[in-house]
């Protein structure tokens, strides 16, 4: 069995508004996944169903064999962590140390182990030791986001979902946070799911794409497969990265449509000359 199994998931909000319809998927340990789609497509709702913040209206979400409907949230968050789009919506303690310690304390971890987990998470995200005693809102947004991620890491989940990790950050900061998340994936083995609208980031860092449109999962595949499928892109109202669009225009010259980077484009041209 896969670590995460979603079967025929439907979800409607209390006012009756449908948000997810017939979503089925699985996730293995150690994947780097991008969840993409327009606003209102169901991305965030699906993310919250995966870690138990929301329960399916029908269908099921199994994490490590545990049904989200029958598992208390304290156990779900130990398996799937969710980092909000705006870290300011997640941070509420007076110091970064207490923020990172809050989750483990809340689920009854003994205090000596809480301290170990705080130091472990601080070290992983690269938060300077003096900042542990600072109020989170005295830090830059980039550091606040790292504190928010550290607070999730302290629970030691296998899956980490990060909603719009690059929003409000410049190009350098965006690459830094994505390289950090990639490190969690490659070096520590976490399954990382990024919810994003940034297709250049997706093309550079994700190994698998889940595409949402009109509350449904309409495609699941590699970045090359998804970006090269013009019908899927049109249905999801998503523009592929510029280099992929250029490859589509140059298709008559034998350029593969699944090109994701300038290096791949150059290689395709050089290969065509040989």
Which structure tokens are listed for 7? 């079967």
Q: In this model, does residue 78 exceed pLDDT 80?
A: yes
Residue 251 falls within a domain, yes or no? no
**Average pLDDT over the chain, rounded to whole?**
88
Summarize pLDDT for 248-259 with one digit per residue, the tens: 655 555 566 565
Residue 247 falls within a domain, yes or no? no
Question: Which residues form the domain of 123?
Answer: 4-223
Residue 24 falls within a domain, yes or no? yes
Q: List the beta strands (DSSP E) in 87-180.
A: 159-163
pTM listed for this prediction: 0.85
Summarize pLDDT for 220-257 with one digit per residue, the tens: 999 889 988 889 999 999 887 766 666 665 555 556 65
Residue 245 falls within a domain, yes or no? no
Per-residue pLDDT, 255: 61
Q: In this model, does residue 273 exceed pLDDT 70?
A: no
The dihedral formed by the CA atoms of 161, 182, 228 and 264, expressed in degrees to the nearest 10:
170
Residue 98 falls within a domain, yes or no? yes
pLDDT tier for residue 274 given thresholds of 50, 70 and 90: low
CATH number, domain containing residue 143: 3.40.50.300
Residue 91 falls within a domain, yes or no? yes
pLDDT tier for residue 267 given thresholds of 50, 70 and 90: low
Per-residue pLDDT, 85: 82
Residue 40 falls within a domain, yes or no? yes
Strand order in the sheet with 208-213: 80-83, 159-163, 191-195, 32-36, 208-213, 216-221
Residue 230 falls within a domain, yes or no? no
- For the chain, the domain total comes to 1
* Rounded-to-integer distance, Cα 172 and Cα 83, Å: 21
Per-residue pLDDT, 61: 97
């Amino acid at each position: 069995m896969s670590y995460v199994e979603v079967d025929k998931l439907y979800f409607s909000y209390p006012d009756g508004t449908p948000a997810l319809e017939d979503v089925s998927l699985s996730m293995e340990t150690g994947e780097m996944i991008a969840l993409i789609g327009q606003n209102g497509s169901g991305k965030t709702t699906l993310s919250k169903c995966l870690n138990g913040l929301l329960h399916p209206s029908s269908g099921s979400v199994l994490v490590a064999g545990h049904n989200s409907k029958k598992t208390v949230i304290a156990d779900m968050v130990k398996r799937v962590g969710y980092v909000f789009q705006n870290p300011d919506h997640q941070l509420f303690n007076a110091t970064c140390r207490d923020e990172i310690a809050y989750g483990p304390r809340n689920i009854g971890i003994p205090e000596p182990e809480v301290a170990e987990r705080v130091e472990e998470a601080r070290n992983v995200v690269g938060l300077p030791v003096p900042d542990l005693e600072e109020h989170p809102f005295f830090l830059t947004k980039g550091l606040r986001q790292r504190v928010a991620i550290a607070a999730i890491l302290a629970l030691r989940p296998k899956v980490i979902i990060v909603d719009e990790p690059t929003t409000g950050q410049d190009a350098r900061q965006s690459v830094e946070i994505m390289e950090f998340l990639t490190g969690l994936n490659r070096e520590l083995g976490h399954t990382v799911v990024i919810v994003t609208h940034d297709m250049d980031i997706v093309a550079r860092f994700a190994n698998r794409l889940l595409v949402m449109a009109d509350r449904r999962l309409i495609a699941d595949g590699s970045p090359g497969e998804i970006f090269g499928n013009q019908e899927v892109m049109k249905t999801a109202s998503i523009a592929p990265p510029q280099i992929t669009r250029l490859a589509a225009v140059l298709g008559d010259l034998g350029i593969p449509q699944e090109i994701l980077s300038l290096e791949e484009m150059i290689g395709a041209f050089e290969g065509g000359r040989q």
